[in-house]
Homo-oligomer: A and B are copies of this chain.
Amino acid sequence: MRAPYGLYILDNCLTCPVREEHLFCNLSVQAGQRLNEIKSTAVYPKGAMLFIEGQQPRGVFVLCAGKAKLSTSSREGKTIITKLSESGDVLGLNAVVSNRPYEVTAEMMEPGQANFIPRESLLQFLKDNGEVALRVAQQLSLNYYTAYEEIRTLGLTSSPSEKFAKLLLSWSTKSPQSDGSSQVKLTLTHEEIAEIIGTTRETVSRLFSDFKKKQLLQLKGSTLVIRNRPALEKIVQS
């Protein structure tokens, strides 16, 4: 099924390639079919907002393809990115369960696709499927722990360089190489990295320079090579 933005629509969750791994995957046949009935699918361009901080929750989005960033902003325009989401992630769950406004804004970072499940349908579905409700509770609890990680980083990690090192390490663990180094495709702008670690674009630029000079990393085109994990860990230390 051909769609805009050069994507193919994945129109059936029962045969979706990202099955098996995530919150609403690997359900019983009945539950899976029911879920397939109440969801609707849409394709989004880069920059599309799935929902915006402060809006009343309409439902949850299950990201099927593409990446999204979750962020929160102050009135003066300062923004922090709290999470980068990938396919399989469920967005807006907390707002829907608690019926409070979305606490973040979800914006597509590249063209992609998401299933939408309206709030009322989802809550009814959870009532009918206790085992899924339990998994949702566990997911919420996991979200809480992630939030606490963020609090710790923001409140206890003082210097930008420490936070930058932390970020690099988190990337590097996702693609470990046998020789201890690791390669990451760099898709974020300096501005976005700055919003993740809570500093300015210029400081990120300088951090790249410094770390390159110190042989901690290397740039091959848009591929980031992390060369010295132990040194990075020493910078983080806390």
Contacts and interface: CB of A to CB of B under 8 A. Distances in A.
Interface of A: 72-76, 78, 80, 82, 94, 97-98, 100, 103-104, 137-138, 140-145, 147-148, 150-152, 154-158, 198, 237-238
Given A137-B140, A151-B72, A145 B103 contact: yes
Contacts of A78: 156, 158
B72 A152 contact: yes
A143 B103 CA distance: 13
A189 to B, nearest CB: 19
Contact of A148 (B72, B75, B141): B72
Nearest to A82: B151
Given A98-B145, A100-B145, A147-B147, A80 B155 contact: yes
A75 B137 contact: no
Given A144-B144, A151-B151, 11 more contacts: A73-B156, A75-B237, A78-B156, A80-B156, A97-B137, A98-B141, A100-B145, A103-B148, A147-B148, A150-B151, A154-B155
